[in-house]
Amino acid sequence: MAKNNPPFGGLLRALALCWVIILSDLIGEALSWKVRHYDFDVKYMFWSPDCVEHVMMGINGQFPGPTIRANAGDTVVVRLTNKLHTEGVVIHWHGIRQLGTPWADGTASISQCAINPGETFTYRFKVDRAGTYFYHGHYGMQRSAGLYGSLIVDVAEGEREPFHYDGELDLLLSDLWHKSAHDQEVGLSSLPFRWIGEPQSLLINGRGQYNCSLAAHYSDSSISNECNLRGGEQCAPRILRVLPKKTYRLRIASTTALASLNLAIGNHKLVVVEADGNYVQPFAVNDLDIYSGESYSVLITTDQDPSHNYWLSIGVRGRLPTTPQGLTLLNYLPNSASKLPISPPPITPKWDDYNHSKSFTKSIFARMGSPKPPTNSDRRIVLLNTQNRINGYTKWAINNVSLVLPPTPYLGSIKFGLKSAFDNKSPPESFSAGYDVMKPAANANSTVGSGVYTLGYGTTVDVILQNANALTANVSEIHPWHLHGHDFWVLGYGEGKFSQKDEKSFNLKNPPLRNTAVIFPFGWTALRFVADNPGVWAFHCHIEPHLHMGMGVIFAEGVHRVGKIPNEALGCGLTAKMSFSGNHT
């Protein structure tokens, strides 16, 4: 029988918690760490990001949401109020590892309950590492609806970056559909299946132009109609203003729902120095591929003819593009921003030139002095990505299991031993040795599941992401996979089906640390990480409709080490019932 709480027990505990928070804030101030407070009101609004009005999801009446800026070591506090009328909401802080605060990861049904209409939930977490990050909705397809913004973490006060620059420019890249996220969700779950299609526009810092182009006069294409941007203050491009003979850091993050992108600046080299919040060995390129969930910092030097301006362009990669390039100007001051460049925008590499993509991706190595991976792993999990059918519906599956999330968040379920809240059978560790990844499956039928891979705390885990043919012959897609709660070392990439002999090609000397990695068509990607962050963490394809269709898995580690989970993260499903009965105290 549960013990009755003493009178005013809840009040006393609340007061004690308040004092702990106050003291931690005071200690942080004394050590030059700061507590950064933000109030977020999430609601739908009319907005014209590509000069066509849609209903978008915004924060505090703006799109994209406000930029969060902090120094490494600071604590970020976001008080989020759900002002949507009919649906819940959560926000995931992409790339922030949530050390000691797994309930603040912002994943509905995994780390917390969805925040109901009218409710307020306070996210409180430490940003332990400098880097380029972003945040986005992680419930349904709310990222597709526009729920995202930038999160920039500068080095701690008194510290310096390992490279010099004179100024900084921030770029948040995204894609936009005129069809609502709700319409897209219904189509993905319908018989017959209705794919979302290609985006209508590409956005740079939330702005783009539908069916027209700033660069129209360079092209004879009918899609490149010249734009009249007067009165279009919500879609007029954010000009990147620079001074000649300076070095600038471009922080670039991609929160696209579908599109893989390529970015280039006319006549300017890009020197890559950071990837997903980790420093890399600097290397120069003419353009870079960036997949959904990835972030980079590049240095550019404004060493071109100062009497001209230059195009910055983004274009679709990995899919046959029907979406025009997104454009803005690198404006060399004191030139007017109305002065168009003398050359057309850089041409995006052919969409299926995968050698170009692989060349860039395989050029990324950890900066000297970065942590090295353990020499050996304790466990290997091989995850086969396949497109499948379940009762006629089109799904994605991992090792023939399509992920469905339970009503009760895993974190609370595992912490309090609610064994009936999700599938207790662990998902498959691999797939049949006879499976031919180069052909459509002989039997495309799959099943749904909500099981968890339970990892030994402190163990080293290898994950092999194995790509395969989709339902249609000779089709295999790019999938960028994102791991919550950790960074991983990318040990290598390969063609065809992974085998034991491929281990010889693993890079254990200077593999990059990332939180998002791509698997190329008909290929594999090898990752290694240490399961040293107590919590329950999603690992999934970052393409929004693919996750919605089941392409993801759940990792749990050291959940018994997790401290007190805030009640508001638990108040749904079985945990809500348990809280009323007092059985989990």
Provide DSSP, 350-402: PTT-HHHHHHHHTT--BPTTPPPPPSS-SEEEEEEEEEEEETTEEEEEETTEE
167-361, CATH topology level: Immunoglobulin-like (2.60.40)
**pLDDT average, residue stretch 136-164:** 96
Q: Which of 550, 570, 580, 581 is nearest to 421 (CA)?
A: 570
Partners of 149 in the beta sheet? 135
pLDDT of residue 212: 77
What is the Cα–Cα distance from 414 to 422, expressed in whole angstroms?
A: 9
Q: Residue 417 carries which side chain, given as an amino acid letter? A: G
Give me the sheet containing 91-94, strands edge to edge: 68-71, 148-154, 131-137, 91-94
**pLDDT average, residue stretch 558-576:** 85
Please classify residue 114 by burial: count the beta carbons closer than 10 Å to its beta carbon, then call 0-12 exposed, 13-18 middle and 19+ buried. Answer: buried
Q: From the CB of residue 550, how many other CB atoms can be counted at a distance below 10 Å?
A: 25
First-to-last C-alpha distance (Å) of the chain: 11
CATH 3.40.640.10 fits 33-154, yes or no: no
**pLDDT average, residue stretch 339-364:** 95
What is the Cα–Cα distance from 470 to 135, expressed in whole angstroms?
A: 30
**pLDDT average, residue stretch 35-58:** 96
Q: What pLDDT, in 10s, does the model give residues 290-321?
A: 999 999 999 999 999 999 999 999 999 999 99
Q: Is the pLDDT of residue 499 over 50?
A: yes
For residue 463, the surrounding DSSP H or E stretch is strand 460-466
Long-range CB pairs of 22-31 (<8 Å, 24+ gap) are 24/75, 25/75, 28/73, 28/74, 28/75, 31/73
Tokens of 241: 């203003």
pLDDT of residue 30: 46
What is the Cα–Cα distance from 78 to 96, expressed in whole angstroms?
A: 14
pLDDT of residue 33: 81
**pLDDT average, residue stretch 433-461:** 96
Partners of 295 in the beta sheet? 253
Q: What pLDDT, in 10s, does the model give residues 195-220?
A: 999 999 999 999 999 987 777 666 65
Q: Is the pLDDT of residue 461 over 80?
A: yes
DSSP-derived letter for residue 325 is: P
| 17-31, 137-151, 244-258, 327-341: range with lowest mean pLDDT | 17-31
What is the Cα–Cα distance from 412 to 97, expressed in whole angstroms?
A: 19
The answer to whether 157 and 181 have CB atoms below 8 angstroms apart is no
pLDDT of residue 1: 38
What is the Cα–Cα distance from 88 to 116, expressed in whole angstroms?
A: 4
Are both 33-154 and 167-361 of the same fold? yes
Give me the percent of the chain exceeding a pLDDT of 90. 86
Q: Is the pLDDT of residue 582 over 90?
A: no
pLDDT band of residue 226 (cuts 50, 70, 90) is low
- Listed by start position, the domains of the chain span 33-154, 167-361, 379-581
What is the Cα–Cα distance from 144 to 246, expressed in whole angstroms?
A: 36
Mean pLDDT, all residues of the chain:
91
What is the Cα–Cα distance from 540 to 553, expressed in whole angstroms?
A: 6
pLDDT band of residue 570 (cuts 50, 70, 90) is confident
379-581, CATH topology level: Immunoglobulin-like (2.60.40)
**What count of Cα atoms within 13 Å lies in the side-chain half-sphere of residue 129?**
18
Q: How many residues does the chain have?
A: 585
Vertex 37, ends 31 and 39: CA angle to 5°? Answer: 175
Vertex 546, ends 195 and 223: CA angle to 5°? Answer: 45
Q: What pLDDT, in 10s, does the model give residues 462-493?
A: 999 999 999 999 999 999 999 999 999 999 99
**pLDDT average, residue stretch 376-404:** 97
Q: Residue 470 carries which side chain, given as an amino acid letter? A: A
Strands (DSSP E) found in 104-157:
120-126, 131-137, 148-154
The answer to whether 375 and 508 have CB atoms below 8 angstroms apart is yes
